[in-house]
Amino acid sequence: MRNPEYAPFPTDEYLARYHKAQKLMEEQGIDALVLTSEENGTYFSGLETIEWSAERPIGVILPRDKNKGPIMSFAGLLGDIATASSWIEDLCPWGPWGGLTNAPANGVEAIARSVRKLGLEKATLGVELGHAQKMLLTHAAYGELVSSLPEAKFVDAADLLWDLRKIKSAREIEALRKVCAATTRAFEVGFAALREGMTEKELAGIMFAQMALETSELPSFMMIRSGASKYGMVNVRPFTKTLNRGDLVIVDAGARYKSYCSDFMRMACIGEPTDEQRRMFEANLEAQKAGVAAIRPGATTGQIFDACYQVLAKHGLAQHFTTTGVGHSVGLFFHEPPRINKGGDIPVEANMVLTVEPIWYDRPDHQIGNFAIEDMVLVTETGHEILSLYPKDLHIVPVH
């Protein structure tokens, strides 16, 4: 096997992932995986490109048969990148680039040709159809792929893919530690720069810049909500809104390293909080810590939810609390299954990386605040380890 110079991980990491996938394919009666999304394609191939798109689709075809190797198809202009960053040796470039002869005309034809080369034109092919999965193929292109392989059976491989990705390897955990450290440093620098009168976007710029300095990669995301006009918003981008005296500032941020994301939240207040803001913040923090404390192998996602909910109920704040969930997994995307929901029965396993984030605001007019603290937590063999190390106390910004 090739050990490419610029792969994010050594080849044995990708082989281990592939071999686990082959076992699951055997159990589920799938003959090959046909993957086109950036997350799954990167997970199995290591390909380092910004070209993941529906316009010029990339295909990673992973046969179950141990006597057959994987094939990766891509627009021909990516050939040098493929050999420099991916361990996959059997390559199917397509299109007119680089003087290719007898090459497939487009990405769909290249994927179909790769399937036929593996002798799988009548096989059961697992594709990214189900929960929280996506294909980087247009509807029309997927229809063309199905039509070009009329005797193949296309089935959903979402459960198989999440079964693989929810349990992290030692190298994945190392990458997640690094990305959490980068985000922690961004909070240190960003919150130190917080001042009355700056805008949300200015704060975001400071933190994004620090994340990039720490990882040398494009950061993942930034969410900021501050003041009564934004307390009721969820997953909102930073605005040009000014940070004013009395505003609670909720920052949800994530860096990126080797394509792995971080995701955790901290809170600040411009000036001293009111007594009611302080009471609600402390209740939220207690609930969040209770949820983290419940994480251990053998617990269920529902038990983590209940630990958060019971604290808020004790404080008489249950009516404010959303019952849609208090966390999720993190990996190549910052929101991944499993979700930590009310009644959830998914067992917690060692080497999962989960978040705990009970989020709520005063109802119905959300004038007091939005309250949200979030950690990234590694599940260990005996309990858990918090990876997001910036302090969780409410950061007070002095005003004059």
**What CATH number is attached to the domain comprising 267?**
3.90.230.10
Higher per-residue pLDDT: 280 or 322: 280
The pTM for the full model equals: 0.95
Are 91 and 226 found together in one domain? no
Are 80 and 145 found together in one domain? yes
Q: Predicted confidence band at 16 (pLDDT cuts at 50, 70, 90)?
A: very high
Are 191 and 293 found together in one domain? yes
Q: Which of 165, 180, 213 is the last residue of a domain?
A: 165
Are 152 and 175 found together in one domain? no
Q: Residue 67 belongs to what domain range? A: 11-165
Nearest to 355 by CA among 333, 332, 323, 386: 386
Give the model's pLDDT for residue 323: 66
**SS3 for 126?**
strand
Whether 30 maps to a domain, the answer reads yes
Average pLDDT over residues 261-273: 98
Average pLDDT over residues 127-131: 96
Are 153 and 200 found together in one domain? no
Are 17 and 127 found together in one domain? yes
Are 159 and 176 found together in one domain? no
Q: Which of 116, 146, 165 is the last residue of a domain?
A: 165
Token digits of residue 40: 């799954």
Whether 4 maps to a domain, the answer reads no
Average pLDDT over residues 286-296: 98
Whether 123 maps to a domain, the answer reads yes
Query: Domain holding 102: CATH number?
Result: 3.40.350.10
Are 310 and 213 found together in one domain? yes
Number of structural domains, the chain? 2
Nearest to 311 by CA among 373, 365, 256: 373
Are 188 and 306 found together in one domain? yes
Average pLDDT over residues 191-207: 98
Q: Which residues, in sequence order, are CB contacts of 264 under 8 Å at separation 6+?
A: 180, 183, 252, 253, 254, 355, 357, 374, 375, 376, 388, 390
> Is residue 99 pLDDT above 80, yes or no?
no
Whether 6 maps to a domain, the answer reads no
Give the model's pLDDT for residue 320: 80
Are 213 and 336 found together in one domain? yes
DSSP state of 202: H
- Cα angle 338-313-287, degrees, rounded to a multiple of 5: 50
Average pLDDT over residues 95-122: 93
Q: Which of 123, 144, 165 is the last residue of a domain?
A: 165
> Is residue 188 pLDDT above 80, yes or no?
yes
pLDDT tens, position by position, 336-381? 999 999 999 999 999 999 999 999 888 788 899 999 999 999 999 9
Give the model's pLDDT for residue 364: 80
**Exposed (0-12), middle (13-18) or buried (19+): which is 40, by Cβ within 10 Å?**
buried
pLDDT tens, position by position, 56-72? 999 999 999 999 999 99
Are 190 and 50 found together in one domain? no
| Helix segments in 4-65, DSSP class H | 11-28, 38-45
Give the model's pLDDT for residue 400: 85
Are 154 and 226 found together in one domain? no
Average pLDDT, the chain: 96
Q: Predicted confidence band at 300 (pLDDT cuts at 50, 70, 90)?
A: very high
Return the percentage of the chain with pLDDT > 70, whole number: 100
Give the model's pLDDT for residue 175: 98
